[in-house]
Structure 1
Amino acid sequence: MTKTQNNEHLSKESFLERISRMYYVLEMSQQEICEQLNIGRSSVARFLSEARERGIVQFQIRSDLDGCRHTDLESQLMKRFKMKDCVIFRSDESGTSFEVLASQYLNSILPTHGSIGLGWGKTLHAVGTQMHLCDPRPGLKVIQLSGGSGAKEELVPAATVIQLWAQSLRCRPILLPAPAIAVNVEVKNSFLQDPSIQEIVSEIKKIDAAVVGIGHTGEDATIITSNLVPGLGSQALSASSVGDLIFHFYNEKGVFSEPSLSSRVVGATPEEFQQIELRIGVAHGVSKKKAIQGALQGQLIHVLITTEETARELLATE
């Protein structure tokens, strides 16, 4: 019996376990495995990936945050939604704020060089106040993903978030000196003609990771309370959408649902945002349940950082 025929007699799970042990335990190279099992090297990589997806291979990385994270809930959410990671902080960890814990996790995952894109708002500003706990990253650039709030900066921090994170990480801030949402597409295009803004837009296309808040469509949604779009109300917005990422609104399936509004956003387009290799969403609160679900359903974010209370709400919905 040839090696290939022998592999066919193994159950799929046993076969995946065998390859996984050869690679992770015996430390054989993919080339050695393909030679021993008489399969293509590309097949080895595919089987290893499938083993991780099926849970045959599970990684455990020791961290100072282990005692603060609710791993059972994380596993349940990871199983329900396809994510690279899920971070749920326990509600019984009194004395350590969500913002401190979030900054400690981000310190372990954000790149030290290259660039990261930031959304804005109160959640990211709050986390930013604790980013000084992270390691300095002088080789990193922090880029504003969408324009600012202008005179409303005190109410809805935009540029302040970029400056705060950059100062804490000892890195270079890159601000986008334009409104988040232009009056119309023509006005937006006029902003994009400016050479300095063109340079920032070019930087956005090269971002390695993004950290964003997740907005919702209730009466207290940022876009409504700040009157960024005069006349826009919660009822009209909720009719088509459940949440937004940098003012690109999407429905319960995570499909972008307000193209006319998105076309006026000065900054990363929905397509450019989705091309970023690592997209981290930071959000918590019962009011954001549907918004978070939609973002996860559409795989708009790869990593979710949230609280135990919010995670239980997410899991309560079938």
Structure 2
Amino acid sequence: MPSPDAPERTRDALRAAHLYYMQDLTMEAIASELHTSRSSVSRMLAFARETGLVDIQIRSPLEVPGRLAAAVRARFGVTAHVIPVPDSTSDVDRLERVALSAARTLTSFVDSNMSLGIAWGSTVSAISRHLTPKPTHNSSIVQLNGAGNTQTTGIAYASEILHRFGSNFDADVQQFPVPAFFDDPATKQMMWRERSTRRLLDIQSHLDIVLFGVGSPLAEVPSRVYMGGYLDEPDYSALVDDGVVGDIATVFYRADGSTNGIAMNARASGPSFETLRRAPRRVCVVAGISKLPSLQGALAAGLVTDLFIDETTARGLVA
């Protein structure tokens, strides 16, 4: 429940933002006009940005991120958002900075009467923590792949991510309560014939946006699929034998983007790449050079329309 002074706080933040961004007043001048302190003005402006009252966009065609974004677009045909991050930054901090930028921009992609498909994982979890509130109506957040394994149902982990998105956009949440990987492909096929499951599969095939990271067994920030008890030693061996470089929503692929003949995919709960490509906007978020092989495979598969990527990894991508 919002605090009693929420409307007053919003009003003050709006006034401070207008004076700062539209009238070019200094924080000292705003503090004087509003009869408050400079630190209070700083908090008002931060509140305005965090709650979506202010939308800041940066376009830098002549700077390094702008040149890298143009190079990625020319080579791969995707819209790239290159986030400046020092090379010395740890992969944990790198992910947080990229996730923050992706979350701020994602808000402008989502609107009323839209459906957003979510592939849970470390990257999307980080994005969910930085979302800027934007109320919509008749919109939905859809889970793309199951989260259960032999150790946990996965419901708590996946639903926390989904409900952050749902609360942020005032959207209905559609969960997908199945295992991440079935023990037997035949069990999956039977489950996929159930009407309740077919309803979710139909929703997944008509999404407006999909949001995903790329899973990688090599990443310094471990991908959830590879560290959450979802795979055992025979599974890892099978992935190596099949030349797998990564996964998206628990569907594995090779460096050329192909998925055919990969044994694990017959047991995976995630949507086929054909289904993903039906979504008009497909947002991929990647942080860390160790995920470069996985990203290259996703690009080869034609799965990405919008890419959020740190500057170091972007340089490696276009090198």
Q: What TM-score do you get using the length of structure 1 for normalisation?
A: 0.71
Q: Secondary structure at the match of 1:215?
A: coil
Structure 1 residue 122 displacement after superposition: 1.2
Partner residue, 1:227: 229
Structure 1 residue 238 displacement after superposition: 3.9
Structure 1 residue 283 displacement after superposition: 1.4
Unaligned runs of at least 5 residues, structure 2: 1-54
Larger RCO (CA under 8 A, 6+ residues apart): 2
Q: Say what the alpha-carbon RMSD is for the aligned residues.
A: 2.8
Partner residue, 1:87: 81
Q: How does 1:55-66 map to 2 (within 5 A)?
A: 64-66=57-59
CA distance, structure 2, for counterparts of residue 291 and residue 107 of structure 1: 26
Unaligned runs of at least 5 residues, structure 1: 1-61
1:232–1:283 CA distance, 2 compared to 1 (3 A): farther
Q: How does 1:20-59 map to 2 (within 5 A)?
A: none
Figure out how many residues of one structure are paired with residues of the other and give that number: 252
Q: How does 1:198-217 map to 2 (within 5 A)?
A: 198-217=198-217
User: Is 2:312 aligned against 1:309?
Assistant: yes
CA distance, structure 1, for counterparts of residue 137 and residue 295 of structure 2: 32
User: Is 2:218 aligned against 1:218?
Assistant: yes
Q: Secondary structure at the match of 1:207?
A: coil
Contact 2:289–2:316, Cα closer than 8 Å, also in 1: yes
1:237–1:204 CA distance, 2 compared to 1 (3 A): same
Q: Secondary structure at the match of 2:189?
A: helix
Structure 1 residue 234 displacement after superposition: 4.7
Structure 1 residue 152 displacement after superposition: 4.3
Structure 1 residue 158 displacement after superposition: 2.3
Contact 2:207–2:278, Cα closer than 8 Å, also in 1: no
Quote the sequence identity (%).
Answer: 21
Partner residue, 2:37: none
CA distance, structure 1, for counterparts of residue 104 and residue 134 of structure 2: 10
Partner residue, 1:57: none
Partner residue, 2:268: 265
Q: What amino acid is aligned across from residue 65 of structure 2 in structure 1? A: H
User: Is 2:131 aligned against 1:136?
Assistant: no
Contact 2:148–2:179, Cα closer than 8 Å, also in 1: yes
Contact 1:251–1:257, Cα closer than 8 Å, also in 2: no
CA distance, structure 2, for counterparts of residue 200 and residue 155 of structure 1: 16
Contact 1:73–1:88, Cα closer than 8 Å, also in 2: yes
Q: Secondary structure at the match of 1:97?
A: helix
Partner residue, 2:283: 280
